[in-house]
């Protein structure tokens, strides 16, 4: 490669980028900018890289520099939309995606991004046409069909959602993670047996997308109360908020639960599957340590280290609770306390609801807890939050490791 040729440097950067060598790609793009500080393609690709790393501010900065040089370029407009979506600015993202599509109407990725942003804004009906068009443009691809299935489910068309999920599944033979997600959606629609848990990739993507809007939505519109309810029940079960305990916040998200648990903690650790939720938690500056992991993998590797293990609005992504209860039991010191919420179900030990979360039967959970070696210290029914204008009925448990 001629060392000074910006075009060759840009191409080399794009090749490294496609191979996943992000550091090398970034270095090459920056070499381009040393030679041509306004180069729109280098800024655009640095913006894509920043977005892939979860750096929404960096992504916006670079895509804006690219657009300053080429305001009509549909690729730059589409990437600005994606950066805005990453930052949680969905209404502005929709405008940018539409501007890109006005100039390049048959771009399936931008059509899908537009549909997903409209769904995120609570308008699944508006998301259906772009998602259907994305699916038609890529007849063999499972992703747009899965996105279409989710939008149809949210729009209340269960049969159409199941049909699209089935089509996604049929096209996902070489993508096991996507196939698992399609099967999970089919199960939530009543079209198959409920698996023992939500797929980790589904949970991660869901919360990665939700992260920048999570706190505003949960504490505002959705009146989310689980962390305060759990902390209250812990106190009533005899735990003093005297900052003396080693506390693990499972599925800590952005840290709303950590804030409620901090009063009990001499040391507070958080664990979550979603790197974007963890980035928000890190900004809060509350945790002594944060771990990116699946709780079922992490807990067995950390035996006996905690006095309290709490999970607010987390175990409803698991159906069969026996492995999680055994893992929590193992992570607690003798006499340690587990506290968690679940969504309330009746009859079956657990069932997968249309909202794609599990509901659990209180009696069954109490039996599982005892079988895992816990004593039930407290158990309560409570409204956890609102969803589509209706209360989400929940269960709160405080258990002691005997
Ligand atoms: C609804 S949020 C609740 C966050 C926080 N506990 C709170 O009360 O605000 C659920 C969180 O649990 C995480 N989560 C779900 N299943 C998980 C698993 N198996 N392992 C680790 N984290 C998980 C999700 O990524 C998400 O951040």
pLDDT digits (tens, 9 = 90+) for 286-299: 999 999 999 999 99
Under 8 Å between Cβ of 295 and 310 = no
Confidence of residue 266 (pLDDT cuts 50, 70, 90): very high
For 386-395, the CB contacts below 8 A with 24+ separation are 386/221, 386/222, 386/223, 387/222, 387/355, 392/343, 393/343, 393/344, 394/226, 394/341, 394/342, 394/343, 394/344, 395/341, 395/342, 395/343, 395/344, 395/360, 395/362, 395/365
pLDDT at position 2 = 57
Q: How far is the CA of 357 from the centre of ligand 1 (A)?
A: 12
How many whole angstroms separate alpha carbon 32 and alpha carbon 38? 9
Closest Cα to atom 1, ligand 1: which residue? 313
Looking from the CA of residue 295, the nearest atom of ligand 1 is 20
Confidence of residue 223 (pLDDT cuts 50, 70, 90): confident
Q: How far is the CA of 112 from the centre of ligand 1 (A)?
A: 26
Taking residues 151-180, report their average pLDDT. 96
Q: How far is the CA of 189 from the centre of ligand 1 (A)?
A: 22
Q: What are phi and psi of 121, to 5 degrees?
A: -85, 5
Q: How far is the CA of 73 from the centre of ligand 1 (A)?
A: 38
Q: Between these two residues, 244 and 347, which has the higher pLDDT value?
A: 244
Whether 83 has a pLDDT exceeding 90, the answer reads yes
Under 8 Å between Cβ of 310 and 263 = no
Query: Which of 1, 35, 33 has its CA nearest to residue 15?
Result: 1
How many whole angstroms separate alpha carbon 3 and alpha carbon 1? 6
Q: How far is the CA of 295 from the centre of ligand 1 (A)?
A: 9
Place of tokens 């659990």: 360
- Mutating to test ligand 1, I would choose from 260, 314, 342, 355 the residue with most ligand atoms within 8 A of its C-beta, which is 314
Closest Cα to atom 26, ligand 1: which residue? 253
Under 8 Å between Cβ of 222 and 387 = yes
Q: How far is the CA of 124 from the centre of ligand 1 (A)?
A: 24
Looking from the CA of residue 256, the nearest atom of ligand 1 is 9
How many whole angstroms separate alpha carbon 373 and alpha carbon 152? 43
Determine which of 133-142, 207-216, 391-400 has the lowest per-residue pLDDT on average. 207-216
Determine which of 70-79, 87-96, 247-256, 341-350 has the lowest per-residue pLDDT on average. 341-350
Determine which of 107-116, 161-170, 216-225 has the lowest per-residue pLDDT on average. 216-225
Whether 1 has a pLDDT exceeding 80, the answer reads no
Residue 202 structure tokens: 């589904």
Angle at 353 between CA 281 and CA 322, to 5 degrees: 70
Residue 76 structure tokens: 């730059």
Closest Cα to atom 14, ligand 1: which residue? 251
Whether 114 has a pLDDT exceeding 60, the answer reads yes
Residues in contact with ligand 1 by the CB-under-6-Å rule are 203, 207, 226-227, 251-253, 256-257, 271-274, 277, 294-296, 312-314, 317
Q: How far is the CA of 311 from the centre of ligand 1 (A)?
A: 8
Indicate where the chain has its CATH 3.40.50.150 domain(s).
204-401
pLDDT at position 348 = 85
pLDDT at position 252 = 98
- What is the chain's Cα-based Rg? 23
How many whole angstroms separate alpha carbon 55 and alpha carbon 81? 14
Half-sphere exposure of 120 (CA within 13 A, CB side): 27
Mean pLDDT score across all residues of the chain: 95
Q: How far is the CA of 68 from the centre of ligand 1 (A)?
A: 39
Q: Between these two residues, 324 and 210, which has the higher pLDDT value?
A: 324
Looking from the CA of residue 274, the nearest atom of ligand 1 is 25
Q: What are phi and psi of 204, to 5 degrees?
A: -60, -50
Confidence of residue 384 (pLDDT cuts 50, 70, 90): very high
- The CATH number of 204-401 is which of 2.40.50.90, 3.40.50.300, 3.40.190.10, 3.40.50.150? 3.40.50.150
- Mutating to test ligand 1, I would choose from 251, 258, 315, 342 the residue with most ligand atoms within 8 A of its C-beta, which is 251
Looking from the CA of residue 197, the nearest atom of ligand 1 is 19
First-to-last alpha carbon distance for the chain, in angstroms, is 67
Q: How far is the CA of 313 from the centre of ligand 1 (A)?
A: 7
* Topology of the domain comprising 6-192: 1.25.40
pLDDT at position 302 = 96
Which positions ≥6 away from 266 have C-beta within 8 Å?
Answer: 243, 244, 245, 246
Indicate where the chain has its CATH 1.25.40.10 domain(s).
6-192
Query: Which of 146, 160, 240 has its CA nearest to residue 199?
Result: 146
Q: What are phi and psi of 123, to 5 degrees?
A: -125, 65
Determine which of 88-102, 191-205, 239-253, 263-277 has the lowest per-residue pLDDT on average. 191-205
């Amino acid at each position: 490669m001629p060392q000074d040729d910006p075009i060759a440097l840009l191409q080399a950067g794009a090749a490294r980028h496609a191979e996943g060598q992000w550091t090398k790609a970034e270095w090459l793009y920056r070499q381009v900018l040393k030679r041509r500080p306004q180069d729109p393609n280098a800024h655009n690709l640095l913006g894509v890289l920043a977005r892939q790393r979860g750096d929404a501010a960096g992504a916006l900065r670079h895509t804006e520099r690219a657009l300053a040089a080429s305001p009509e370029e549909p690729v730059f407009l589409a990437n600005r939309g994606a950066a805005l979506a990453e930052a949680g600015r969905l209404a502005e993202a929709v405008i940018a995606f539409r501007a890109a599509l006005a100039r390049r109407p048959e771009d399936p990725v931008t059509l899908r991004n537009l549909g997903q942003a409209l769904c995120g804004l609570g308008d699944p009906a508006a998301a259906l046409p772009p998602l259907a068009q994305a699916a038609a443009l890529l007849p063999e691809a499972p992703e747009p069909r899965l996105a279409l299935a989710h939008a149809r489910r949210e729009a209340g068309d269960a049969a159409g959602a199941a049909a699209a999920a089935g089509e996604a599944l049929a096209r996902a033979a070489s993508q096991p993670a996507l196939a698992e997600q399609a099967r999970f959606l089919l199960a939530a629609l009543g079209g198959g047996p409920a698996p023992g848990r939500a797929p980790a990739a589904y949970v991660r993507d869901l919360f990665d997308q939700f992260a920048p809007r999570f706190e505003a939505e949960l504490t505002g519109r959705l009146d989310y109360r689980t962390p305060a309810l759990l902390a209250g029940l812990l106190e009533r079960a005899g735990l003093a908020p005297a900052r003396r305990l080693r506390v693990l916040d499972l599925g800590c998200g952005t840290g709303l639960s950590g804030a409620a648990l901090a009063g009990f903690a001499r040391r507070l650790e958080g664990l979550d599957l979603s790197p974007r939720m963890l980035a928000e938690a890190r900004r809060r500056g509350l945790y002594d340590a944060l771990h990116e992991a699946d709780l079922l993998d992490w807990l067995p590797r950390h035996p006996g280290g905690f006095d309290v293990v709490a999970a607010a609005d987390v175990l409803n992504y698991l159906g069969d609770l026996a492995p999680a209860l055994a893992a929590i039991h193992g992570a607690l010191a003798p006499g340690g306390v587990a506290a968690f919420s679940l969504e309330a179900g009746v009859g079956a030990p657990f069932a997968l609801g249309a909202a794609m979360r599990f509901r659990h039967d209180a009696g069954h959970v109490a039996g599982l807890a005892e079988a895992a070696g816990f004593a039930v210290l407290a158990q309560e029914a409570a409204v956890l939050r609102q969803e589509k204008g209706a209360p989400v009925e929940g269960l709160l448990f405080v258990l002691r490791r005997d």
